């Protein structure tokens, strides 16, 4: 006997395409968040959830990624309009306000965004809300008619299984699933769906980022194709030139 | 003694038709035949109604094409001919049945029509012909029975209905002869005339000797009724057995729309927006011609015999695609996930071997393409192929590399671009593989070096080139393909391109056969064709004697040989004709066997046991070749991997034909890659 | 009892994890006194092993309620400890353990946080931090506002600390198990036996291809070199297919994407599927007998030769260094 969760909130971020390999990268939904969206959709398809609400924070330019989430199958999408470079803690505080407004039974998001690789927002949100959390999950199943969730976490040393009292925050790892592909007509259909735009004022939250990125530099690129003639030369170059030993 | 004697004239030669059959019996006969034909017609009409579930249209409209196709594929049965028992027995059954049907029809015209022409020389030849083909027909039945009982080709499929059909056909033939013999016996036909009805005469003089006329008449009547009942039973059961293809086969042969084999059907965005439908979600989403084609299948299994997916143990058989869809068409039910699983659809390499084999011109690949489009539209694709499509959308190439690096392969070669050489004759379309895959980059280098050596006026697009969209279209994202097609057509037109040469058969196919759907019309050549021309013009040398490659074989890429008919050119390039070291594989030319990369399969991960490339590598190793030449970057990739997985394959070099040719030029730096192709 | 910095020490219920001690070096660089914090059950022996690093105190939160590292409880206790000490900096080594717990503690402490810090610089009174972003392809320099901070540092960027200080006092941190969060239950744990680093996070990765021929050569050469350098083991699809390496070792388009500081490719020709997975590596070394192998086009250092002959020499040379 199980009753589906009434609402799952999935938070996602727009990031530069990590597969672009430099150059003019288009923005995409953060791959880990895409996995979170996929899991929420699969839970709905399994009859474990009723409504999937997607949320992101950013300027109007990220609407394209909001539509990608809608095209994947998110029922409703919210963009919190804020063009600033926010740190994870600011994001967590904004999301707390939205969670209080939306009252979902479960919040899903990626374990980290592949642009800043911070790996913080989900845990911070859980801390702010005082909700249970499961990070780096590779599996989730609902128990007791949706009162609890059993999660398998991927840790440095292997796998760990924990059970959470819902509502809770869960962050996805790579092996949770393989997200579905969104085709062009799917995207075009999603263009017709409304995106709910909210401001921080409307949510009643004021945040000031506490971290600021001063600069980003590309580590020196490897010089392609240098041949070495001997093991000795290789070891010397790795020590003295590349400094990796 | 086949000439009249005793003062009789040939002109009097004829026979009775309903001589032994009384008036009421004739009426019963006609009613029986009419009812059975009525039941047949009603059942065929039911099939017709099933076809009408489909989207309207999809039919070929040109009567010239109908006529030509019916002549070639229905009458001459081009696709059936093969050196096999199946082809032989089909020839016997087909010709026998055709002649007997025409003969019976002529007889009824003669009997009921205004002119009685059933006499004289016409009659004599008629009788002889009918007897000869009756024998041929019966032999066909016996051969078919033998094949079903003892050969038992698995892909043919076997059940009791097949025995019913063959049994009834053989019984029809035998009772026909018996009726003839008994009729001749009781009418006491003169020997000279009897001999023209050879089989009946032989039966008469062998088995009916001493039977009195009245007994013969009774036996004739009984046999005649048996024959009649069999005919009626045969008519009524046509729609539930393989014989239906005699009606539906020719219909589909005429109706299949004329289109290059390598071109998939475009979808219109307006239609998608209007109907909200992409591809085939339900059986009714196929067009009417496609539904008709399902009924044209007589389950001969030829498609399955050549299918690389079936051969490599994947869940796909082209035949079962057709029969499973047919079952949904007839009985309703869910298509996706019930009748046909997604894994089955993703297994197809779109090599077109099944399409090439099918005697009744069923378009298996179009059926699969429509269903794939639905899966992609519904978000049922994930994993590596999904990533490749995303990368085509974002970086304009399936490898996800910055499009600005498109000319990395040309470093140090001083390759002319459309900027530096705007008055080029040939546009060298490099393709994504040769732009980004380090192994295929060497093919682009070899090709460019050869073109330069031969003094060809060519240029490359550089970073203006983007993926043709071929993988997107084959996997099922039609609009991602169209986005690429429209962009590329605009680029090619802006650069005033007339002639295109490419080293990739998939680019070749899409540019030549699919871009005209978007207003792009270019003269497209595979590099093998241009290189062969340059060799024949003496602008490049191809001295097989200088070859150090040892025994060499050629793997024909599907989209070059089968789909676009280019078979000789790559052989010319590697000097196959003059090279006694050249080994042809059993499956070659248009009958080539896929490497496993087509249909977007390049971008799928597959377990080693299911790799098509391993099967092909085994075939190549068995040929004794030490070099496998090919003309496709994906074949190159797949066959290299296949060789690495195959015993004896580690010593076989896999090369492009351009690399082979370059290694044979006078002063070229040999670029034979080392054996050992492990990734 | 006070300390400027509180360092979370990780253990495996038997002993302290060595890399987690590298955070002590980062704390020394930041200046001021620091305390070490151990959480768990039955920690006396481990606490004893931490007294010689110069900490102002070794804090031990020991109890049944902390037997398993559940983030909600641990974060609550850590925040409580930081407040008790008046610590403004919370520090730990980078691991799935610290990344699970510290961000939650940071939220409880209302502090900004940085993960995977690889360098800390003081300039004109301001502190800046460097950390890799975009899967290691870029290096960001970051500044923090306010007094409080939570930092997760990479052990590879900070040396192991000297263990030669006078004994630090060990103190028990009292906490009320009954008021700790109770929404999470531990169910089970399944540890993989390997103590090699995770492929996607390792600083050094050794990859092996099909020319290694058999499992024995693969284990001796690829795994041997990886163990010598403390690196992870990777493989091409062909090597995985032929059973030379397990499935989860596969690097490439259909496997894992890695971005280590050093990738050593042994007998790998460089098929594009494989290159897709290694292109973000900082230094690539290729050893292959085919001078035309595509891997040499992207390798920082290429050495042409048979892996079976060269790798034993390389292992020898690295050992003697």
Taking the Cβ of residue A26 and every Cβ of chain B, the question of whether any pair is shorter than 8 Å is answered with: yes
Q: pLDDT band at residue C243, thresholds of 50, 70 and 90?
A: confident
Token pair of C35 as six digits: 């305390």
Which distant-in-sequence residues (6+ apart) come within 8 Å of B19 by Cβ?
B183, B187
What is the bridge-based pairing of β-strands A148-155 and A133-143? antiparallel
Q: What's the average model confidence in pLDDT over C251-269?
A: 84
| Closest Cβ opposite residue A183 in set B376, B400, B401 | B376
- Check residue B596 and report its DSSP letter: S
d(CA B286, CA B265): 12
Minimum CA–CA partner of A20 in chain C: C276
Taking the Cβ of residue C318 and every Cβ of chain A, the question of whether any pair is shorter than 8 Å is answered with: yes
Q: Which of B164, B165, B208 is nearest to B185 (CA)?
A: B208
End-to-end CA distance of chain B: 79
Token pair of B396 as six digits: 């304009």
Taking the Cβ of residue B582 and every Cβ of chain C, the question of whether any pair is shorter than 8 Å is answered with: no
Whether A184 and B391 lie within 8 Å, measured CB to CB = no
Taking the Cβ of residue A184 and every Cβ of chain B, the question of whether any pair is shorter than 8 Å is answered with: yes
* pLDDT tens, residue by residue, B446-460: 999 999 999 999 999
Minimum CA–CA partner of B609 in chain C: C241
Q: What is the reported pLDDT for C103?
A: 98
Whether C142 and A211 lie within 8 Å, measured CB to CB = yes
d(CA B394, CA A24): 10
* pLDDT tens, residue by residue, C137-192: 788 999 999 999 999 998 878 888 998 888 999 999 999 888 999 999 999 998 87
d(CA B639, CA B644): 8
Using the Cα atoms of residue B180, residue B185, residue B189 and residue B195 in order, give the sign of their dihedral. positive
Using the Cα atoms of residue B657, residue B662, residue B666 and residue B672 in order, give the sign of their dihedral. negative
Higher pLDDT, B356 or A155: B356
Q: Could you tell me what percent of chain B has a pLDDT over 90?
A: 79
* pLDDT tens, residue by residue, A161-215: 999 999 999 999 988 998 999 988 788 888 888 999 999 999 999 999 999 999 9
Token pair of A90 as six digits: 């600011």
In this structure, the number of other CB atoms found within 10 A of the CB of residue B464 comes to 17
Q: pLDDT band at residue B675, thresholds of 50, 70 and 90?
A: very low
Q: Which of A180, A32, A15 is nearest to A108 (CA)?
A: A32
pLDDT score of C107 more than 50: yes
C254 CA: distance to closest CA in chain A (Å): 12
Q: What's the average model confidence in pLDDT over C61-73?
A: 96
Q: What is the reported pLDDT for C194?
A: 66
In this structure, the number of other CB atoms found within 10 A of the CB of residue B431 comes to 29
Q: Which of A168, A160, A166 is nearest to A148 (CA)?
A: A166
**For testing the chain B interface, which of C242, C253, C270, C284 should be mutated: the one with the most B CBs within 10 Å?**
C253
* A78-82, B406-410, C285-289, C290-294: range with lowest mean pLDDT: C290-294
Q: Which of C27, C140, C39 is nearest to C88 (CA)?
A: C27
Which residues of B fall within a CB distance of 8 Å from C286?
A: none
B363 CA: distance to closest CA in chain A (Å): 25
Q: What is the reported pLDDT for B12?
A: 78
pLDDT score of B667 more than 60: no
pLDDT score of A9 more than 80: yes
Q: pLDDT band at residue A126, thresholds of 50, 70 and 90?
A: very high
Q: What is the reported pLDDT for B669?
A: 43
d(CA B495, CA B507): 18
Which distant-in-sequence residues (6+ apart) come within 8 Å of A216 by Cβ?
C133, C138, C139, C140, C141
d(CA A174, CA C248): 12
Higher pLDDT, A92 or C3: A92
| Closest Cβ opposite residue B402 in set A21, A73, A189 | A21
Q: What is the reported pLDDT for A1?
A: 44
| Closest Cβ opposite residue C72 in set A18, A133, A153 | A133
Q: Which of B477, B485, B483, B533 is nearest to B507 (CA)?
A: B485
B391 CA: distance to closest CA in chain A (Å): 8
B397 CA: distance to closest CA in chain A (Å): 10
d(CA C207, CA C193): 20
pLDDT score of B1 more than 80: no
Q: What is the reported pLDDT for B545?
A: 58
Q: Which chains touch C (3 or more CB pairs under 8 A)?
A: A, B
Taking the Cβ of residue A45 and every Cβ of chain B, the question of whether any pair is shorter than 8 Å is answered with: no
- Give A125's Cβ-side CA count (13 Å radius): 32
- Check residue B411 and report its DSSP letter: T
Sheet holding B499-502, edge to edge: B458-459, B426-429, B499-502, B523-526
Cβ A110 vs Cβ A36: under 8 Å:
yes
Q: DSSP labels for C268-282?
A: ----HHHHHHHTT-S
Q: CB under 8 Å, gap of 24 or more: what pairs does B246-251 form?
A: B246/B97, B247/B44, B248/B47, B248/B292, B248/B295, B248/B296, B248/B360, B249/B74, B249/B296, B249/B298, B249/B359, B249/B360, B250/B70, B250/B74, B251/B292, B251/B296
* pLDDT tens, residue by residue, B52-109: 999 998 999 999 999 999 999 999 999 998 888 999 999 999 999 999 999 999 998 8
| Closest Cβ opposite residue B402 in set A20, A71, A180 | A20
Q: Which of B601, B347, B371 is nearest to B470 (CA)?
A: B601
pLDDT score of C270 more than 90: no
Which residues of A fall within a CB distance of 8 Å from C136?
A: 219
* pLDDT tens, residue by residue, A73-110: 999 999 999 999 999 999 999 999 999 999 999 999 99
d(CA B429, CA B458): 10
Cβ B528 vs Cβ B560: under 8 Å:
yes
**For testing the chain A interface, which of C300, C316, C318, C320 should be mutated: the one with the most A CBs within 10 Å?**
C300
pTM: 0.86
Which residues of B fall within a CB distance of 8 Å from A21?
A: 395, 400-402
d(CA B445, CA B434): 9
Which residues of A fall within a CB distance of 8 Å from C127?
A: none
Whether C272 and B678 lie within 8 Å, measured CB to CB = no
Minimum CA–CA partner of A30 in chain C: C134
pLDDT score of B6 more than 70: no
B240 CA: distance to closest CA in chain A (Å): 40
In this structure, the number of other CB atoms found within 10 A of the CB of residue B233 comes to 14
Q: What is the reported pLDDT for B671?
A: 43
Cβ A162 vs Cβ C70: under 8 Å:
yes
Which residues of C fall within a CB distance of 8 Å from B410?
A: none
Using the Cα atoms of residue A113, residue C185, residue C105 and residue C170 in order, give the sign of their dihedral. negative
Q: E strands along chain C, which residues?
A: 5-8, 34-40, 57-62, 89-93, 113-117, 119-123, 126-133, 138-144, 149-153, 170-172, 184-191, 204-208, 232-235, 262-266, 283-288, 301-304
Q: How many residues does chain C have?
A: 321
Cβ C278 vs Cβ C191: under 8 Å:
no
Whether C269 and B678 lie within 8 Å, measured CB to CB = yes
**For testing the chain C interface, which of A28, A134, A231, A240 should be mutated: the one with the most C CBs within 10 Å?**
A231
d(CA B358, CA B352): 10
Q: What is the dihedral of CA B9, B11, B12, B18, to 10 degrees?
A: 160
What is the bridge-based pairing of β-strands C89-93 and C5-8? parallel
Q: pLDDT band at residue B673, thresholds of 50, 70 and 90?
A: very low
Mean per-residue pLDDT over chain B, rounded: 92
d(CA B278, CA B288): 17
In this structure, the number of other CB atoms found within 10 A of the CB of residue B351 comes to 28
| Closest Cβ opposite residue C99 in set A18, A119, A228 | A119
Q: pLDDT band at residue B24, thresholds of 50, 70 and 90?
A: very high
Taking the Cβ of residue B666 and every Cβ of chain C, the question of whether any pair is shorter than 8 Å is answered with: no
Token pair of B438 as six digits: 């380090």
Q: Which chains touch B (3 or more CB pairs under 8 A)?
A: A, C
* pLDDT tens, residue by residue, A14-38: 998 876 655 567 899 999 999 999 9
Where residue A145 falls (left for φ over 0; alpha for ψ -120 to 50; beta otherwise) is: left
Max mean pLDDT among B39-48, B399-408, C192-201 falls in: B39-48
d(CA B504, CA B443): 10
Q: What is the reported pLDDT for B402?
A: 82
Say how far residue B316 (Cα) sits from the centre of its chain. Answer: 16
Q: DSSP labels for A163-220?
A: EEESSEEEEE-GGG--PBPPPHHHHHHHHTS-EEEEEHHHHT-----SEEEEEEEPPP
Q: What is the reported pLDDT for C92?
A: 97
pLDDT score of B511 more than 80: yes
Whether B679 and C271 lie within 8 Å, measured CB to CB = yes
Cβ C182 vs Cβ C70: under 8 Å:
no
pLDDT score of B626 more than 50: yes
* pLDDT tens, residue by residue, C188-221: 998 876 667 778 778 899 999 988 878 899 999 9
**For testing the chain C interface, which of A95, A147, A162 should be mutated: the one with the most C CBs within 10 Å?**
A162
- Check residue A157 and report its DSSP letter: T
pLDDT score of B128 more than 60: yes
Minimum CA–CA partner of B642 in chain C: C238
Higher pLDDT, B572 or C248: B572
| Closest Cβ opposite residue A181 in set B379, B400, B404 | B379
Say how far residue C120 (Cα) sits from the centre of its chain. Answer: 17
pLDDT score of B629 more than 70: yes
Q: Which of B602, B336, B373, B346 is nearest to B477 (CA)?
A: B373
Whether B402 and A24 lie within 8 Å, measured CB to CB = yes
B392 CA: distance to closest CA in chain A (Å): 11
Cβ C303 vs Cβ A245: under 8 Å:
no
Whether A213 and C141 lie within 8 Å, measured CB to CB = yes
Which residues of B fall within a CB distance of 8 Å from C253?
A: 384, 387
pLDDT score of B580 more than 90: no
């Amino acid at each position: 006997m199980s009753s589906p969760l009434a609402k799952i909130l999935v938070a996602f971020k727009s990031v530069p395409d990590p597969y672009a390999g430099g150059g003019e990268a288009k923005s995409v939904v953060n791959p880990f968040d895409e996995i979170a969206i996929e899991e929420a959709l699969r839970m709905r398809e399994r009859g474990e959830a009723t409504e999937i609400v997607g949320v992101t924070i950013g300027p109007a330019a990220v609407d394209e990624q909001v539509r990608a989430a809608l095209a994947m199958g998110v029922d409703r999408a919210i963009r919190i309009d804020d063009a600033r470079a926010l740190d994870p803690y600011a994001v967590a505080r904004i999301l707390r306000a939205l969670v209080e407004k939306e009252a979902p039974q479960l919040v899903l998001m990626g374990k980290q965004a592949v642009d800043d690789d911070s790996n913080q927002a989900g845990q911070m949100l859980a801390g702010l809300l005082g909700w249970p959390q499961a990070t780096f999950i590779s599996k989730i199943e609902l128990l007791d008619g949706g009162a609890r969730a059993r999660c398998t976490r991927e840790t440095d040393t292997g796998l760990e299984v924990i059970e959470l009292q819902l509502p809770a925050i869960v962050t996805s790892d790579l092996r949770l699933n393989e997200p579905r592909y969104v085709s062009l007509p799917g995207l075009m259909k999603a263009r017709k769906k409304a995106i709910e735009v909210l401001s921080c004022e409307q949510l009643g939250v004021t945040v000031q980022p506490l971290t600021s990125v001063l600069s980003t530099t590309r580590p020196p690129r490897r010089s392609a194709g240098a041949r070495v003639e001997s093991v000795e030369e290789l070891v010397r170059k790795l020590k003295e030139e590349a400094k990796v030993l | 003694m086949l000439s009249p004697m005793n003062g009789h004239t040939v002109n009097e030669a004829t026979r009775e038709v309903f001589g032994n059959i009384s008036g009421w019996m004739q009426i019963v006969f006609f009613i029986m035949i009419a009812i059975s034909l009525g039941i047949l017609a009603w059942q065929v009409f039911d099939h017709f109604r099933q076809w009408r579930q489909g989207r309207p249209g999809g039919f070929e409209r040109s009567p010239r094409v109908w006529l030509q196709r019916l002549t070639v594929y229905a009458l001459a049965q081009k696709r059936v001919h093969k050196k096999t028992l199946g082809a032989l027995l089909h020839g016997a059954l087909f010709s026998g049945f055709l002649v007997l049907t025409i003969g019976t029809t002529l007889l009824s015209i003669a009997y009921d029509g205004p002119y009685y022409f059933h006499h004289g020389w016409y009659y004599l030849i008629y009788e002889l012909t009918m007897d000869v083909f009756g024998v041929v027909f019966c032999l066909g039945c016996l051969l078919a029975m033998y094949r079903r009982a003892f050969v038992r080709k698995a892909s043919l499929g076997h059940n009791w209905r097949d025995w019913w059909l063959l049994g009834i056909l053989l019984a029809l033939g035998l009772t026909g002869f018996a009726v003839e013999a008994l009729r001749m016996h009781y009418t006491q036909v003169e020997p000279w005339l009897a001999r023209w009805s050879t089989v009946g005469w032989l039966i008469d003089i062998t088995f009916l000797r001493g039977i009195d006329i009245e007994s013969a008449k009774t036996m004739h009547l009984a046999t005649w009724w048996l024959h009649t009942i069999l005919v009626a039973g045969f008519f009524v059961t046509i729609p539930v057995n393989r014989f239906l293809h005699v009606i539906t086969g020719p219909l589909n042969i005429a109706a299949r729309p004329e289109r290059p084999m390598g071109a998939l059907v475009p979808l219109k965005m307006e239609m998608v927006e209007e109907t909200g439908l992409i591809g085939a979600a339900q059986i009714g989403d196929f067009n009417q011609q496609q539904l008709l084609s399902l009924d044209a299948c007589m389950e001969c299994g030829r498609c399955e015999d050549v299918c690389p997916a079936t051969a490599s143990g994947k869940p796909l058989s082209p035949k079962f695609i057709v029969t499973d869809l047919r079952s949904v068409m007839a009985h309703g039910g869910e298509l996706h996930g019930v009748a046909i699983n997604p894994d089955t659809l993703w297994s197809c390499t779109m090599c077109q071997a099944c399409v090439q084999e099918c005697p009744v011109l069923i378009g298996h690949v179009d059926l699969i393409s429509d269903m794939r489009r639905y899966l992609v539209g519904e978000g049922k694709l994930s994993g590596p192929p999904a990533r490749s499509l995303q990368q085509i959308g974002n970086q304009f190439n399936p490898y996800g590399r910055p499009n600005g690096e498109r000319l990395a392969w040309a470093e140090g070669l001083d390759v002319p671009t459309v900027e530096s050489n705007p008055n080029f004759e040939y546009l060298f379309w490099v393709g994504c593989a040769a732009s980004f895959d380090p192994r295929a980059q060497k093919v682009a280098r070899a090709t460019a070096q050869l073109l330069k050596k031969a003094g060809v006026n060519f240029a490359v697009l550089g970073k203006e080139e983007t993926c043709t969209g071929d993988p997107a279209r084959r996997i099922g994202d039609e609009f991602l393909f169209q986005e690429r097609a429209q962009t590329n057509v605009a680029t090619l037109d802006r650069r005033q391109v007339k002639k295109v040469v490419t080293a990739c058969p998939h680019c070749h196919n899409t540019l030549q056969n699919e871009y005209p759907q978007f207003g792009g019309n270019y003269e497209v050549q595979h590099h093998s064709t241009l290189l062969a021309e340059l060799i024949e013009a003496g602008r490049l040398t191809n001295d097989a004697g200088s070859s150090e490659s040892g025994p060499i074989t050629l793997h024909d890429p599907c989209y070059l040989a089968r789909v676009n008919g280019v078979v000789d050119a790559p052989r010319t390039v590697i000097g196959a004709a003059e090279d006694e070291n050249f080994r042809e594989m059993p499956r070659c030319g248009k009958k080539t066997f896929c490497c496993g990369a087509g249909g977007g399969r390049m971008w799928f991960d597959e377990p080693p046991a299911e790799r098509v490339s391993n099967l092909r590598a085994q075939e190549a190793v068995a040929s004794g070749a030490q070099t496998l030449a090919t003309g496709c970057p994906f074949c190159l990739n797949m066959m290299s991997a296949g060789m690495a997985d195959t015993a004896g394959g580690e010593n076989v070099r896999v090369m492009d034909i351009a690399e082979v040719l370059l290694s044979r030029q006078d002063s070229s730096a040999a670029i034979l890659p080392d054996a050992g192709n492990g990734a | 009892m006070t300390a400027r910095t509180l360092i979370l020490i990780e253990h495996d219920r038997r002993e302290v994890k060595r890399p987690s001690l590298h955070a002590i070096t980062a704390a020394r660089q930041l200046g001021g006194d620091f305390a070490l914090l151990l959480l768990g059950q039955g920690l006396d022996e481990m606490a004893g092993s931490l007294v010689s690093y110069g900490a102002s105190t070794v804090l031990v939160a020991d109890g049944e309620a902390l037997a398993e590292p559940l983030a909600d409880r641990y974060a609550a206790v850590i925040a409580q400890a930081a407040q008790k000490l008046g610590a403004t900096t919370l520090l730990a080594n980078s691991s799935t353990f610290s990344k699970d717990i510290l961000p939650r503690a940071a939220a409880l402490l209302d502090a900004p946080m940085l993960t995977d810090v690889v360098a800390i610089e003081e300039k004109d009174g301001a502190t800046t931090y460097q950390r890799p972003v975009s899967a290691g392809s870029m290096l960001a320099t970051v500044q923090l506002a306010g007094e409080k901070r939570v930092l997760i540092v990479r052990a590879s960027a900070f040396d192991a600390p000297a263990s030669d200080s006078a004994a630090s006092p060990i103190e028990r941190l009292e906490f009320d198990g009954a008021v700790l969060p109770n929404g999470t239950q531990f169910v089970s744990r399944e540890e993989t036996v390997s103590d090699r680093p995770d492929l996607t996070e390792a600083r050094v990765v050794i990859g092996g291809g099909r020319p290694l021929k058999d499992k024995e050569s693969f284990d001796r050469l690829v795994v041997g070199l990886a163990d010598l350098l403390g690196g992870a083991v990777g493989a091409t699809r062909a090597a995985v297919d032929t059973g030379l390496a397990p499935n989860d070792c596969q690097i490439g388009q259909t496997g894992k994407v890695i971005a280590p500081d050093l990738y050593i490719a042994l007998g790998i020709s460089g098929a594009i599927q494989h290159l897709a997975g290694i292109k973000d590596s900082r230094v690539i070394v290729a050893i292959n007998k085919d001078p035309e192998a595509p891997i040499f086009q992207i390798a920082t250092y290429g050495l042409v030769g048979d892996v079976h002959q060269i790798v034993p020499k390389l292992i020898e040379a690295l050992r003697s260094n």
